């Protein structure tokens, strides 16, 4: 064959050139163009890790785009469904939906299905990437069947990814099981979860032995009669006024004294809320018509905090079982007193209250008046000195309980107000960011200490309603002396409060229509506990009685005795006796505001009241508004 030949000196010479045969590798290099070079291998571990983050990402990284879309489709649809619910509901309502009976078990099953699905996605991404690497190394199959190499380090990485993935789902399953157990304990009063092996003994000094006395031992009941048939209470319809009884129970020594009784009344239309507190020492609370009245009488003669223990084992008094009868009885009796249909109850025992508050990280309370108690029980017969200064205080569970229960240097009115203030402070301070890090401790505390008969399927609606209420507009009532009762004592009971039933009923009836300013004045006047007389200085029939009725409506502790002043009066005269002006500043200010006159002071040991108002000819004709 003709061609050019190169000599030793590098010159080209004409002639025949004989080429030597080329080897195999050189042939392959000649066949490959720059565009046909094998792409860089992808890491199977990286593909597995990406699929851990989201199914399908690892397949997209490996270049298997159709497979990636197939694995990502189901999670995308699930996220879109969850996002749709999240946009319609806030965090509180979503939390309420978790309490629906089928939701928590459904989450457990869904979590298990997602675990299997994600495991498959991770392993498949690893295998597909390894196979594509082997396929590329075999020249697309031209050099033989692709062989996937076994890399121990890469397999160890895959196992680590699988362990991390499984660990996350195990945590979700554990919290789900904890939530299911807590919900079953809280929303089923028939179940007793207080004997949990995780339960801790009650802290010393959490209760007051003086407050744990049983009912009057002289109150004997006849032999038990026929059982009262169970009754199904119609559920709340979402439109009527909703009334829920909040109970704080002292369970020391196996007892069950309901020392805190607060009825929360909610108007779902106007979003108004009122809280009614009845002191634990109240006696003579009316019994509703029925079997219980036939046995106990028209009213319960012992302290109201002992009613639960008296009736819970008497099937002939109220419907329910031994675990629910006491609650049903309290709802019926307080409903009769207030004239309300009390649908549900929520109870927290005092030891549990400490655990719940601690699990929430404490509670911040605005202490309006300092609390000083030199006789607070500290357990084992010891007395502790308690001092809580005024101002904003962040309290632990034990401190909040002391603040709520201290009673030796303040009145039941003050104590009731403090208990309501703590409840509202808890409501204002709790949010999802606070709850989530402590969900395990909180669930354990709630399951051991909280009981309620509120249906679980009502919780989303109730939580949504609670979220829409402004806590600053809640109206608080504490039915304590002197406005709503009278202090006294009884044989076997010691200190008691005898309630003014008519005043209590009137306050409950008008709670949502009365001017909040008037109710605030009533609270201030009740805290000073000043006593007034109204005397008729005009000679006109009934002038004193009419004015006394008006002052009574305003919140004064007032009466109009059948007694005339020494002389008739032209103008209203207000006389404060025996230094009472030092302790009645708000009472005096209110009287001066109403009548537009200044008070005068006098000293007369024969006068048995603090202030005497004498009606004159120019005294305005003031009468209370008609009852609602």
pLDDT tens for 342-376 read 999 999 888 888 888 888 888 888 888 888 887 77
Give 176's DSSP letter.
Answer: H
Q: Are 315 and 227 within 8 A, CB to CB? A: yes
**What is the rounded average pLDDT of the residues 583-588?**
94
pLDDT of residue 577: 96
The predicted structure's pLDDT at residue 288? 95
CA distances from 613 to 64, 74, 467 (A): 94, 80, 47
Q: Which two tokens stand for residue 216?
A: 């009057």
Phi, psi (5° rounding) for residue 398? -65, -40
Helix axis angle, 501-509 relative to 325-338, nearest 10°? Answer: 90
Tokens representing 517?
């300013």
pLDDT grade for 543, boundaries at 50, 70 and 90: confident
Task: Report yes or no: 359 and 439 within 8 Å, Cβ to Cβ.
Answer: no
For the ranges 64-68, 426-430, 553-557, which has the lowest average pLDDT?
426-430
Of these ranges, 197-201, 239-243, 422-426, 532-536, the one predicted with the greatest mean pLDDT is 532-536
Distance CA 430, CA 423 (A): 11
* pLDDT at residue number 539: 78
Rg over CA atoms, the chain: 39
Give tens-digit pLDDT for 500-516. Answer: 999 999 999 988 888 87
Q: Compute CA distances 98 → 93, 180, 191, 348, whole Å.
A: 9, 10, 20, 22
Taking all residues of the chain, what is their mean pLDDT, rounded to a whole number? 82
Residue 175 vs residue 160, higher pLDDT: 160
Predicted confidence band at 379 (pLDDT cuts at 50, 70, 90)? Answer: low
Specify the pLDDT at position 133: 86
pLDDT of residue 579: 94
Contact between 178 and 186 under an 8 Å Cβ cutoff? The reply is no
Give me the pLDDT at residue 408, please: 65
pLDDT at 434: 66
Mean pLDDT of 243-251: 90
Residue 415 and residue 407 in contact, taking contact as beta carbons nearer than 8 Å: yes
pLDDT interval class at 380 (50, 70, 90) = low
Whether omega before 482 lies within 30 degrees of 0, making that bond cis, reads yes
């Amino acid at each position: 064959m003709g061609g050019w030949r190169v000599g030793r000196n590098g010159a080209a010479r004409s002639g025949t050139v004989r080429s030597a045969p080329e080897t195999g590798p050189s042939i392959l290099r000649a066949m490959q163009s720059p565009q046909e070079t094998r792409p860089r291998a992808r890491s199977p571990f990286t593909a597995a890790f990406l699929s851990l983050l989201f199914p399908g990402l690892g397949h997209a990284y490996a270049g298997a785009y159709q497979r990636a879309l197939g694995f990502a489709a189901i999670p995308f649809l699930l996220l879109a469904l969850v996002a749709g619910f999240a946009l319609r509901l806030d965090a509180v309502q979503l939390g309420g939906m978790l309490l629906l009976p089928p939701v928590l078990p459904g989450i457990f099953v869904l979590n298990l299905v997602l675990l299997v699905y994600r495991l498959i996605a991770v392993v498949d991404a690893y295998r597909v990437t390894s196979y594509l690497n082997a396929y590329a190394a075999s020249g697309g199959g031209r050099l033989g069947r692709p062989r996937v190499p076994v890399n121990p380090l890469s397999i160890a990485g895959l196992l680590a990814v699988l362990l991390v993935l499984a660990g996350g789902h195990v945590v979700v399953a554990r919290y789900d099981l904890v939530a299911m157990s807590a919900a079953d304990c809280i929303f089923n009063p028939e179940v007793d979860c207080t004997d949990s092996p995780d339960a801790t003994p009650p802290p010393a000094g959490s209760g007051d032995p003086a407050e744990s006395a049983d009912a009057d031992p002289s109150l004997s009941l006849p032999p038990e009669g026929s059982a009262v048939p169970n009754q199904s209470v119609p559920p709340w319809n979402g439109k009527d006024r909703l009334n829920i009884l909040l109970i704080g129970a002292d369970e020391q020594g196996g007892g069950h004294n309901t020392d805190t009784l607060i009825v929360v009344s909610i108007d779902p239309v106007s979003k108004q809320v009122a809280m009614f507190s009845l002191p634990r020492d109240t006696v003579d609370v009316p019994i509703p018509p029925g079997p219980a009245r036939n046995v106990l009488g028209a009213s319960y003669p012992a302290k109201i905090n002992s009613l639960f223990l008296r009736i819970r084992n008497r099937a002939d008094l109220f419907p329910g079982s031994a675990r629910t009868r006491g609650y049903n009885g309290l709802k019926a009796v307080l409903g009769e007193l207030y004239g309300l249909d009390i649908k549900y109850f929520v109870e927290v025992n005092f030891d549990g209250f400490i655990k719940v508050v601690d699990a929430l990280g404490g509670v911040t309370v605005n202490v309006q008046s300092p609390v000083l108690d030199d006789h607070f029980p500290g357990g084992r017969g010891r007395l502790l000195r308690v001092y809580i200064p005024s101002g904003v205080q962040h309290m632990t569970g034990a401190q909040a309980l002391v603040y709520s229960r201290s009673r030796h240097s303040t009145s039941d009115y003050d104590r009731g107000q403090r208990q309501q203030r703590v409840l509202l402070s808890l409501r204002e301070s709790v949010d999802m960011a606070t709850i989530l890090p402590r969900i395990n401790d909180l669930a354990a505390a709630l399951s051991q200490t909280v009981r309620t008969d509120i249906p679980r399927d009502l919780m989303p609606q109730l939580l949504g309603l609670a979220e829409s209420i402004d806590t600053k507009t809640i109206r608080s009532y504490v039915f304590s002396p002197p406005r709503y009762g009278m202090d006294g004592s009884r044989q076997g009971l010691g200190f008691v409060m005898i309630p003014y039933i008519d005043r209590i009923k009137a306050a409950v009836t008008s709670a949502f229509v009365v001017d909040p300013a008037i109710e605030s004045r009533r609270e201030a006047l009740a805290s000073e506990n000043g006593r007034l007389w109204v005397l008729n200085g005009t000679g006109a029939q009934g002038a004193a009685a009419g004015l006394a009725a008006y002052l009574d409506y305003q919140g004064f502790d007032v009466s109009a005795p059948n007694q005339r002043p020494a002389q008739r009066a032209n103008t209203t005269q207000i006389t404060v006796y025996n230094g009472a002006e030092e302790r009645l500043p708000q009472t005096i200010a209110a009287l001066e505001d109403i009548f537009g006159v200044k008070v005068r002071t006098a000293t007369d040991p024969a006068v048995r009241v603090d202030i005497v108002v004498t009606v004159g000819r120019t005294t305005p004709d003031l009468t209370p508004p008609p009852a609602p």
